[in-house]
Structure 1
Amino acid sequence: MIVVERDIVLPVTVDEAVSYLEDFRHAERWDPGTVRCVRVGEGPVRPGAEWRNTSRFNGRTTELLYRLDVREPARLVFVGTNTSVTATDDMRFEARGDGTVLLRYRASLRFKGLAKLATPFLRAEFEKLADRVARRLPAAVTEERNR
């Protein structure tokens, strides 16, 4: 399994951050690996809501079905699956005294079948991707706030 974690300061309140990030279709704006993310079904975003996420990583395109598993006032957990991987995005939010939010973003990937063999070789690439997410996410949240 590969686990990457980043602490990211967001220039918004906890409520604004959770409200923005709970709709996983916004991953198109803040996740450099996401090519397309479309909601499956309708209705309010709550645990059980799903999205089809098309991602490009290391020159390959893959699709995962993501589900919102946990929606708490200061925590979101998404689980994405396909035949070769289960990806879990665990986001924990903490208000800071200066009006910003500290987001602890933890992504874990558990590969299945033959894909497990590639795990040691992919860690460095996922670390780079996590760095890119950490750079893009504050700008995406700010842009949404200014709309």
Structure 2
Amino acid sequence: MISVERTMVVEWPAGEVLHYLADFGNTPEWDPGTESCARLNPGPVAVGACWRNISRFRGRRTELLYCLEQYGPDRLVFVGSNRTVKATDDITVRASEGRTVLVYRSSLRFNGLARLAAPFLQAEFERLADAVALRLPLVLAGP
């Protein structure tokens, strides 16, 4: 399994950060690896909402179906999967001295023969997490 974690401090209020990140359709704005992310079911964003996420990693496009599994006052958990991988994005937010501390954790569990590649991909996922940690605060800073 591959796991990465990044902590960021942003100027937006915690509730607004959580609301923005709860819509996984916003992912192309803050995740440099995501090309597109389209909502698959109508209605308000709530547990059970799902998105079709297209990402590019190491020059290859991959599609995952992500669903929101937990939506609490300070935590979001999205789980994405395809035949090769199960990805979990666990996001927490907390107010701190007029700012918001955002912790982004991502883990990937590969299936079948793809499990053998996991140790060789950790560094690449670390770089991607670094890119998210740079971009997301800029996006949340507004225009």
TM range (shorter): over 0.9
Which amino acid counterpart does residue 21 of structure 2 have in structure 1? L
Correspondence 1:109 to 2:96: no
CA deviations 1:36-82 (Å, max 9, x no partner) are 00000110000000000000001110000000000001000000000
Correspondence 1:136 to 2:135: yes
Which amino acid counterpart does residue 128 of structure 1 have in structure 2? R
Which amino acid counterpart does residue 66 of structure 1 have in structure 2? Y
Q: In 1, Cα distance between the equivalents of 2:69 and 2:39?
A: 15
CA deviations 1:12-56 (Å, max 9, x no partner) are 111110010000010010000000000001100000000000000
Give the match's secondary structure for 1:42: coil
Give unmatched runs, 5+ long, in structure 1. none
What's 2:20 paired with? 20
Give the match's secondary structure for 2:42: coil
Give the match's secondary structure for 1:4: strand
Q: In 2, Cα distance between the equivalents of 1:17 and 1:124?
A: 28
Give the match's secondary structure for 2:46: coil
What's 1:55 paired with? 55
What's 1:64 paired with? 64
Which amino acid counterpart does residue 17 of structure 1 have in structure 2? V
Q: In 2, Cα distance between the equivalents of 1:139 and 1:90?
A: 20
User: Runs of at least 4 residues of structure 1 off by over 3 A?
Assistant: none
Q: TM-score, normalised by structure 2?
A: 0.98
Percent of matched pairs sharing the same residue: 55
Q: TM-score, normalised by structure 1?
A: 0.95
What's 1:95 paired with? 95
Q: In 2, Cα distance between the equivalents of 1:85 and 1:11?
A: 34
What's 1:84 paired with? 84
What's 1:34 paired with? 34
Pairwise CA distance, 1:84: 0.2
Q: In 2, Cα distance between the equivalents of 1:137 and 1:56?
A: 18
Give the match's secondary structure for 1:28: helix
Give the match's secondary structure for 1:12: coil
Which amino acid counterpart does residue 121 of structure 2 have in structure 1? L
Give unmatched runs, 5+ long, in structure 2. none
Q: In 1, Cα distance between the equivalents of 2:10 and 2:26?
A: 15
